[in-house]
Homo-oligomer: A and B are copies of this chain.
């Protein structure tokens, strides 16, 4: 399918106009609004070609044209120039990050909030997560009775905390001693290494190691870290969801973390840090997203920790701007995360 320059222009204009008005766009409107040097009849002819190509479609015989999903895909693939975010916007965003608390969790929440506000759509951010869990540090804090708080720090900086119950009460001194021993012996070890070192420890140490290994296995098996969402209500204000039922389906995929992990897992597999994925209208696979588009990027350090960030909005979305926003925020997060990497 090879389009003439004029056809590309018209497709672009139809998409632009439709994104603004959410209405089918007619030939006459186009000529008037964009001062085109051709008549509406010419546009009509071109439009009917684009309709043949399945890039545009008519909601009904005598209505204007609306871009098809394929039309959007062509547009995103061929017609958007790599637009960069205005410098002012970039500065505003960076500023927010660098003046926030130095805490990964804060950054991720902030990223979700910035994405949602900038794109006026729902956003998601997953915490950075490593494919391989490497032990870094362990801490045990006496809670009450046989309860102990275990804090586990992984290489890269992921932190997990958990209450464990020991067979009998143990003093804080003894707990610290064991934790120090394990921290010292096992630093930079993976699950197998730790299992191998297990016999070197005394009974208490071995109990702790068992819990430690179980926890690390759990982490290693999970596809993504914590998920942060924001801006779900923006989706509700879109005119394409007058019936809240349709918006419900889309938001449900965000809320139900198993569904979302599925989506992320199968989408991000073949995306590297720096790359970007644009899912338009569910791409035939995600039925609940038939009315939506999702823009996803990966951030982090490819060697160790990576996470996903993205935006979910209506198909009728300002792709160029949203894509560059997502990309920019991904870069900012990558920088922040790699700066504060625990090695």
* Chain B residues with CB below 8 A from A159, complex form: 149, 151, 161
The answer to whether A236 and B248 touch across the interface, beta carbons within 8 angstroms, is yes
Within 157-179 of A, Cβ neighbours of B (below 8 Å) are at 157, 159, 161-165, 176
A9 proximal to B (CB < 8 A): no
In the assembly, what is the distance between CA of A153 and CA of B147, in Å? 15
* Chain B residues with CB below 8 A from A165, complex form: 102
A231 to chain B, nearest CB (A): 8
The answer to whether B143 and A341 touch across the interface, beta carbons within 8 angstroms, is yes
The answer to whether A162 and B340 touch across the interface, beta carbons within 8 angstroms, is no
Per-residue contact bits, chain A 222-265, to B (CB 8 Å; 1 contact, 0 not):
00000000111100110001111101100110010000000000
Binds B, one of A23-31, A133-141, A292-300: A133-141
Interface centre among A159, A231, A248 (most CB of B within 10 A): A248
A211 to chain B, nearest CB (A): 10
Contact residue among B101, B157, B236 (Cβ-Cβ distance under 8 Å from A244): B236
The answer to whether B230 and A236 touch across the interface, beta carbons within 8 angstroms, is no
A192 proximal to B (CB < 8 A): no
Per-residue contact bits, chain A 122-138, to B (CB 8 Å; 1 contact, 0 not):
00000000000000110
The answer to whether A251 and B230 touch across the interface, beta carbons within 8 angstroms, is no
The answer to whether B245 and A102 touch across the interface, beta carbons within 8 angstroms, is no
Q: Which residue of B is nearest A173, CB measured?
A: B184
A60 proximal to B (CB < 8 A): no
In the assembly, what is the distance between CA of A141 and CA of B154, in Å? 11
The answer to whether A343 and B104 touch across the interface, beta carbons within 8 angstroms, is no
A202 proximal to B (CB < 8 A): no
A342 proximal to B (CB < 8 A): yes
The answer to whether A233 and B245 touch across the interface, beta carbons within 8 angstroms, is no
The answer to whether B163 and A104 touch across the interface, beta carbons within 8 angstroms, is yes
- Knowing A143-B343, A157-B143, A163-B102 are in contact, say whether A237-B233 is a contact too (CB < 8 A): no
The answer to whether A245 and B251 touch across the interface, beta carbons within 8 angstroms, is no
Q: Which residue of B is nearest A184, CB measured?
A: B172
A218 to chain B, nearest CB (A): 8
Interface centre among A153, A180, A233 (most CB of B within 10 A): A233
Per-residue contact bits, chain A 308-343, to B (CB 8 Å; 1 contact, 0 not):
000000000000000000000000000000011111
A-B contact pairs, 30 of them (CB 8 A): A101-B162, A102-B163, A103-B161, A103-B163, A136-B141, A139-B139, A139-B151, A141-B342, A143-B340, A143-B341, A144-B340, A144-B341, A144-B342, A144-B343, A149-B153, A151-B153, A151-B159, A157-B163, A163-B340, A231-B255, A232-B251, A232-B255, A233-B255, A236-B236, A236-B247, A236-B248, A237-B245, A241-B244, A242-B243, A244-B244
Q: Which 3 A-B pairs have the closest CB atoms?
A: A244-B244, A236-B248, A143-B342
Q: A157-B163, A233-B251, A236-B248 are in contact. List 4 more A-B contacts (CB 8 A).
A: A137-B139, A144-B342, A151-B159, A232-B255
